[in-house]
Structure 1
């Protein structure tokens, strides 16, 4: 099997997908590995690996070992052979964020490609997400070079694992991305104009396989089927025409030889999709739902309800802690929580219910815990901002040798 995750590969939204895939390859036992090559150049590579392993242990309910190969030029011959051995013996191979071109550059050795192809022939599963997923096709998108550095649109050679199942394609995750707001960031940040140019560079027999965010495209070669799981869809596009599937199972032959229809594209003058009233991130949407509950409670002067909404928003951050999303999404969730905290402070100062300390104590303890975590991680600006928010809400924080204490400032 090949499982392609458009994004959110270590989020709660994709946990059940991993569990289902692992259950299908675990006879007689599971041997899962994490490939760290795509993010091997990053300074926080160790942290990403640790968080991913913890996600599989704590949420998926299984152990996954690290198959480390971060730089071909620095690895010894023994380290490379150990990497190949772990890769070859695994029946579940997972790789995710990072740089697709960096990974492909260090996977250029034919031995890596052959072991991945062997997984498909032997009934294992290759589960690639985000950057790693881009490398599955015959052609790979140098997304960072184009979007971040300003290189001209182009393709580079991919692993062509999907060619093993009869699908000659270029894989594009984050297909429905909407982070740009005022500019088109669909199609893995390329936007429609650049995608059209890139599409014109592909050979006639190569199609574009787009996978939306928080969506999995599961290709079962033995069953000759494709299953779409998650919140979005899978799109096959060729020369400006496309076909899309959502939450369904269909024949693999439809993917390799789709009957396509004209693609619906926005006015080229605007270059961006019409808003649909939702946010691209399930985490942010959950936080906004609790924010709406909190604002409703504020209107009713219900301190309990506001505190509950803030704590639930904090739970959203905890539940999605393993997801390797960008800081922007977490900042938006924190902004929802801070807004409720400040408005709760206004309610307290304006004469909220008596004995307010017992109602806000759980919330303040959570905020002080977040402040302590920020200080331990040397995020002093975040720690100072949390203290300032508490002060704005009438909470005085005292740092003492024995720990942190707090009190409600007297009201005038």
Structure 2
């Protein structure tokens, strides 16, 4: 049976991690039982919605049917992701899940995927990020569930290591920033290293061969006593090398594999990057003006929103931010159309693109945005009428 431990910094149910999930699933037998542990977010009122989105993601993008459960006994593949690390700790310790997770790693069997909050619990200590960053508690550690110790690693694990949501303030290191992490680092037991996993990045540990791969968009940082070694995405090494780095030794990772090997596939563009690109492209089209390109840009943004709809973490650049931008761009389209030379801009091509966008929005149940688009088109000189044969448009009188 396959034995894998996959640790993700973020993006666990986004397009950036699809190929990593697929590669991990291919190591299992046909009909393997897949379990989603919802514990980290089980206290949230939208618990069922988060689970439903995650299950759709794994079914549609990864090709595996996942059951939501509170326990993992008998599971071939186990996944847990966003939420509160300390809430997950308390529940897992009380229910025995913490011991079951350790047993999987010790036995070197099954695929265990921990991301974001769940990944934060994997070391000998855990960052209580909710309490420190959101409540204002003094920086401190909580005991972890110790998944790394059977691998010979005396370390804590910090996801979201390269987070930059703070803008003007430091939110690296899972929202701790350098000031708080430096203070907390001194409180760790002697000889303890910090393993930092960047966002949209995974560290894949083969528990049988002890091979280690870093995949995704960022890297793995091994930090100890103020010094750090960074293993970028594409790096292949092994647990022996990771132990040396964690103990403060120097080492040279093996060269990156070819693009077709293992987990080193190129990662997808994040939604945050797509939002920026679409915004810049729309601005350029509006300056010309080229209303057809502007409308196509809105269509592309909507298509990306659909792809990212299953993302359960919704950090910077999330679907809500994309939806806000789309509404803004739709309103701007209406303003442009009302002042542009529609004939020169290609009225028919423009309207065709906008009607296609409106149809997609209605299919997805986004009637509020579809209505906003119809209003914007009317402001721009196009009247849309829904008929039994489909939408019909005419120039506004």
Quick one: structure 1 residues 339 and 175, their matched pair in 2 at CA, closer, same or farther if it must change by over 3 Å?
Answer: same
User: Structure 1 unaligned runs (5+)?
Assistant: 70-82, 262-280
- Matched-pair contact (CA < 8 Å) for 2:330–2:372: no
- 1:336 is displaced (CA, Å) by 4.1
Residue 347 of structure 1 aligns with which residue? Answer: 336
- Whole-Å separation in 2 of the counterparts to 1:12 and 1:215: 12
Quick one: structure 1 residues 395 and 196, their matched pair in 2 at CA, closer, same or farther if it must change by over 3 Å?
Answer: farther
- 1:345 is displaced (CA, Å) by 2.6
Residue 325 of structure 1 aligns with which residue? Answer: 313
- Matched-pair contact (CA < 8 Å) for 1:295–1:340: no
- 1:22 is displaced (CA, Å) by 0.9
- Whole-Å separation in 1 of the counterparts to 2:380 and 2:316: 25
- 1:406 is displaced (CA, Å) by 8.2
Aligned counterparts, 1:11-410, within 5 A: 11-24=14-27, 26-27=28-29, 29-67=31-69, 69=70, 83=71, 87-109=72-94, 111-120=96-105, 121-246=107-232, 247-258=234-245, 259=248, 282-326=270-314, 329=317, 330-349=319-338, 350-353=340-343, 356=347, 359-364=350-355, 366-367=357-358, 370=361, 393-394=380-381, 410=396
- 1:334 is displaced (CA, Å) by 3.1
- Matched-pair contact (CA < 8 Å) for 1:342–1:393: no
- Please state whether the residue corresponding to 2:223 is helix, strand or coil: strand
- 1:392 is displaced (CA, Å) by 5.2
- Matched-pair contact (CA < 8 Å) for 2:292–2:349: no
Quick one: structure 1 residues 306 and 168, their matched pair in 2 at CA, closer, same or farther if it must change by over 3 Å?
Answer: same
- Please state whether the residue corresponding to 1:3 is helix, strand or coil: strand
What RMSD in Å do the two structures reach over aligned CA positions?
3.0
- Matched-pair contact (CA < 8 Å) for 1:291–1:337: no
Residue 257 of structure 2 aligns with which residue? Answer: none
- 1:292 is displaced (CA, Å) by 3.3
User: Structure 2 unaligned runs (5+)?
Assistant: 251-268
- Please state whether the residue corresponding to 2:342 is helix, strand or coil: coil
- Please state whether the residue corresponding to 1:250 is helix, strand or coil: strand
- Whole-Å separation in 2 of the counterparts to 1:168 and 1:289: 42
- 1:114 is displaced (CA, Å) by 2.9
- Matched-pair contact (CA < 8 Å) for 1:288–1:336: no
- 1:367 is displaced (CA, Å) by 4.5
- Matched-pair contact (CA < 8 Å) for 2:292–2:353: no
- Whole-Å separation in 2 of the counterparts to 1:408 and 1:189: 53
- Matched-pair contact (CA < 8 Å) for 1:135–1:158: yes
Residue 10 of structure 1 aligns with which residue? Answer: 13
- Whole-Å separation in 2 of the counterparts to 1:313 and 1:385: 16
For structure 1, which segment, 338-347 or 118-127, has the greater mean C-alpha deviation from structure 2 after superposition? 338-347
Q: If the length of structure 1 is used for normalisation, what is the TM-score?
A: 0.80
Cα deviation per residue 1:362-402 (whole Å; 9 max; x = unaligned)? Answer: 425534764796777xxx7x7886676556545667899x9
- Matched-pair contact (CA < 8 Å) for 2:36–2:67: yes
- Whole-Å separation in 2 of the counterparts to 1:110 and 1:168: 25
- 1:110 is displaced (CA, Å) by 7.1
